[in-house]
Amino acid sequence: MNSNNVTKLVSGNSSIIIGDGIINELENLFPLSNYSKVAVLTDSNVVKYWLPTLENILHNKIQPIIIPSGEIYKTISQTEFIWNAMFKKGLDRHSLLINIGGGVICDIGGFAASTFMRGIDFLQIPTSLLAQVDAGFGGKTGINFNSIKNGIGIFKQPIGILIDTNTLSTLPEREFIASFSEIIKHGLIQDKIYFSNATSKYPKDFSNSELTDLIKGSVNIKLKVVEEDPLELGLRKILNFGHTIGHAIESNSLQTDNHLLHGEAIAIGMVAESKISQLLGNISEMDFIKIKNSIVNSGLPSKVNNISTDKILEIMHFDKKNINGNLLFSLITEIGKAKYDVTVPLNIIKESIDYIRK
């Protein structure tokens, strides 16, 4: 590991370390010897790539827990499986759970650890680009419930987040490209220059160093927002841009045979919610077209097949940002700026959903 290429950030009690090959320095970066036992949660896809690495690094002193891969498994039944495994492996309140995988593993693992014996420490090692720029940090943990995306969860910070860009080498291309939706979102809500940089090339055309800079940029943008509003009482809601409609599209797709990746659904959601901003007069048609074209040129979808506007509206009413049954949106007011808790007339919501239907 070249220490000159390692970035260390601190958010509250969490250390965020970004670099290439740093997973091999895990024992030197975090005080693992302070824990009575260390368990590792991963999924059926990631296990073959990175569990052997961790077992070698930690000299087989870890307790592996493996669950199926996919958003459809971010459920209470899989959480029960994890809890049972933690009890069977003898974990106690002084144990550590290492979550190594994508956003699903970071979400469900953080939730399982936060509720096991009223909470044990956990460490996130996000291996997907989406998790490295978003789901792997920020303190949100949770599971899906009754087809509601992240319907159950808790705010709990990990002891640290280790972002090793080398883990992206095993990421399927579809997931890599889908991850750019969150990168693009960060630029749209907070930084116009970052948005321009993130959309200047097709995702696979960025060099390793350019990609690392984008990851650092996204981490810094999200950290700045989260540190100001850790419990999502105000400003942090802007991070949900694209998610009110996007989560509904994703939840709906999970009930079909054509599952959308989270990033794909959020890309479509951003198009729809940018359309709302245009229809409300917050952004120009030119800016809307620029946003949509940037998403499409990044290889992300902008429309979705076989959705019912009424069904999407029904799912949206379970969104966590809503108050007293009123749909509240986080919307951009210009590229690089956003506002939250925006009420939108129903006819405009319907028009925006109709726009993204194929």
Domain spans of the chain, in order of start: 3-171, 177-355
Min mean pLDDT across 17-26, 263-272, 317-326 is at: 317-326
Please determine, for residue 154, whether its predicted confidence score (pLDDT) is greater than 90: yes
pLDDT in tens, 204-219: 999 999 999 999 999 9
What is the spatial distance between Cα 49 and Cα 52, in angstroms, rounded to a whole number?
7
Average pLDDT of the residues in 271-283: 98
pLDDT of residue 148: 84
Strand order in the sheet with 121-126: 7-11, 14-19, 160-164, 121-126, 96-101, 38-43, 62-67
- pLDDT score of 3: 52
CB atoms under 10 Å from CB of 127, counted, come to 28
So what's the pLDDT on residue 256? 86
Beta-carbon contacts of residue 150 (< 8 Å; ≥ 6 apart) = 107, 140, 142, 143, 144, 247, 320
Beta 14-19 vs 160-164: how paired, if at all? parallel
Query: 193-213: buried (b, 16+ CB within 10 Å) or exposed (e) per residue?
Result: ebbebbbeeebeebeeeebbe
> What is the Cα Rg of the chain in Å?
20
Name the pLDDT band for 78 (thresholds 50, 70, 90). Answer: very high
Given a cut of 90, whether residue 185 has pLDDT beyond it is yes
AA identity, residue 282 = N
Note the CATH architecture for domain 3-171: 3-Layer(aba) Sandwich (3.40)
Contact 9, 153 (CB under 8 A): no
Average pLDDT over residues 168-190: 96
Helix axes of 262-279 and 180-190: crossing angle, nearest 10 degrees: 30
Nearest of 175, 213, 168 to residue 194 by alpha carbon: 213
Please state, in angstroms and rounded to a whole number, the distance separating the CA atoms of residues 271 and 131: 21
Q: How far apart are CA 215 and CA 259, in angstroms?
A: 26
Write out the two tokens for 179: 């991850």
CA 226 to chain centre: 14
Residue 210 half-sphere exposure toward CB, CA atoms < 13 A: 12
Q: What is the mean pLDDT of residues 255-272?
A: 94
Q: Is pLDDT above 70 for 68?
A: yes
Q: What is the DSSP letter of 96?
A: E
Render pLDDT for 326-351 as a digit per residue (tens, 0 to 9).
889 999 999 999 999 999 999 999 99
What global pTM score does this model have? 0.91
What is the C-alpha to C-alpha distance for residues 159 and 30, in angstroms, rounded to an integer? 9
- Mean pLDDT, the chain, rounded, equals 93
Distance CA 294, CA 39 (A): 41
pLDDT value at position 209?
93
Cα separations in angstroms, 112 against 19, 83, 102: 27, 7, 15
pLDDT surpassing 60 at residue 52:
yes
CA 47 – CA 66 distance, rounded (Å): 7
Residue 143, SS3 per DSSP: strand
Class of domain 177-355: mainly alpha
Q: What pLDDT is stored for residue 258 in this prediction?
A: 84
| Residue 193, H or E segment | helix 192-198
* CB-based contact 81:108 (threshold 8 Å): no
* Nearest CA among 125, 79, 123 for reference residue 102: 125
Count the helix, strand and coil residues of the chain and give each as a percent rounded to the nearest 5: 50, 20, 30
% pLDDT > 70, the chain: 98
Do the domains 3-171 and 177-355 sit in the same CATH topology, yes or no?
A: no
Does 5 have pLDDT greater than 80?
no
For 181, the token pair is: 């939706």
